Structure 1
Amino acid sequence: MIIFAVNIFLFLIVLGVWLWMDTRKKSKQKDVVVDAEGSCKSYYRFFFWLFLRFLIYVLITFLLLTTMFVFYEEDDTEGSLSWLMFFAILGWYISIPIVLVYICSLVQSVWYRNYVNNIFLGLHCFNILQVLCIVGFAVVPQKECTPETMEVSYKANRQNIERLIKVTRCWLPDSTGFSVEYSKHGKLTDWGVSSKQQVNFKGDEIESKKEQERELQKIGLSIEKLDSVRLVLQKMGYRGLSVSRGGAISDYTEIVYGKTGNKEFNYRIYDKPLTDSLVYKLNRRYNLIVYNRYVVFSCVEDFDYDSPFPGKYAYLQKHTLSK
């Protein structure tokens, strides 16, 4: 938004410079007789073309700024690109005249290198910087969400995961379950609670600290406790935590490992060991991988809760042979 505001400010400067230069030019040509009607039409055409160029430039800048923000906030490039493709399809018919006007404007700026066009070209330094930022965010290595990487990560963080689950469950009453999820930058993105108590927690942007504290205390939590959960999750590279109570199989805690596109990959850590029949039943589901009698790898998709876990059968075969 700062870049967007700077661009508007620079356009006003360009307009002011042009008016000042035009006034000086007129003062030197007092003795020259100019057709008033033709001069008025010329001014209207100039202002219309200047405004049109500015409008297109602002739209391009805003689009690049939005794109950069999406790439910065999203967890993976695939999700960002799918969002951009959806936006491009919706704005296809609008984008055609915009592209044509913009190309004509750039050609005119390159061909007629006067002060207005030079400033217009100079303003694109901001756009170039935005494009470089987008490319930088796009090529940053993304977190892999495969059974192998999840296994390695779980082994490395097993003690911290078990400690986090134990402490969190001690805070909550026996009949209460809750879930919390953060963005990769630590911003609260999702919140849920299952309790006999009515909890109206809406996050930092809506409620004051005092209201948040009062609501969280109903289920044994506090802002400090939530912040400690966030810090532990960020330290391990995970995104969220969900405590489920009263399940059909057993109580379990879910840790959000990561996201790819519309798919979310989680650890399910059960309180009680799974029986042989349950292990067989869970392994038959496309979106679950039973790692051991306490831990299950889960893959959940936004629109299809039976989406297959990528690389599941190759992993299970390799896991069985290693035993």
Structure 2
Amino acid sequence: MKALLEVKGLTKHFPLQAGFGKKKASLKAVDGIDLTVYEGETLSIVGESGCGKSTTGRCMLRLIEPTSGQLVFDGQDLTGLSAEAMRRKRRDMQLVFQDPFASLNPRKTIRQILLDPLVVHRVGNAGERKDRVNWVIEKVGLSADYLDRYPHEFSGGQRQRIGIARALILQPKLIVADEPVSALDVSIQAQILNLLQDLQQEFKLTYIFISHDLSVVKHISDRVAVMYLGKIVEIADKGTLYREPQHPYTKALLSAVPLPNPKLRKERIVLKGDLPSPSNPPAGCTFHPRCAYATDACRMAAPRLEEKAEGHYVSCHLVDKR
């Protein structure tokens, strides 16, 4: 498959205010990530809250400027682009936000919200823009009769459909969906996920899907990347990751997924300790304070993300031995 987005050594460190007599510190939200996203696939990024998932997604679009690293989108290096050149490039890269209410301007009608991207990117004339707005609102399952209403007049699921329509209206190549169903009821989640899959097939879209819900990720993903404390610890296709997880953190996450059959039981892996602070991560493997298998090598040297099987990458010293 052709690579649409290549991420190399991506880092984002937020400076922290230092107290009197203290050294300046930084919060390492994203700490050296390498990823390749292929055309037409859905790559999901999962992990517990605070691991850097959303920051990674925003850095990929340069909505947050990375501290270092390289972003190559569709063969073009985005790292050195000017603000104006990057603004034009974002026509091909769109974002669906987590909160479907806060992401919509309450002072504008749905028609105005959907027209704004077309006006900013100078797409078509007034008549063509009107036709495209009518087209896109129907593509997401809503009626053109709703266009002159305001966001507060819609339910959460309808507002998220509007958010998807806003991302789709420029017909991008890549959509970053940042926990797009976490604020919705379970029944509405299924509708939105099915809508995203239908749109992907129709328009040949590529998704980066950010979530902490492993059941949702299993439904929509082609490949899954597991994050822990700003680093990728495992990447594999969906079937392999759920069937044969290798990293102990991935195993712990999957053990927490509830089974739909109440008669079935599985062993629950409970991690000891708390998530370390990203401003002062542990030396060596960042997961070693909570890992039951940690050795001296884990405490001293950080493991590299290596291919342990075809298409299955793991960052762990002990995977082969175990």
Shorter chain as denominator, the TM-score bin is: under 0.3
TM-score normalised by L of structure 2: 0.23
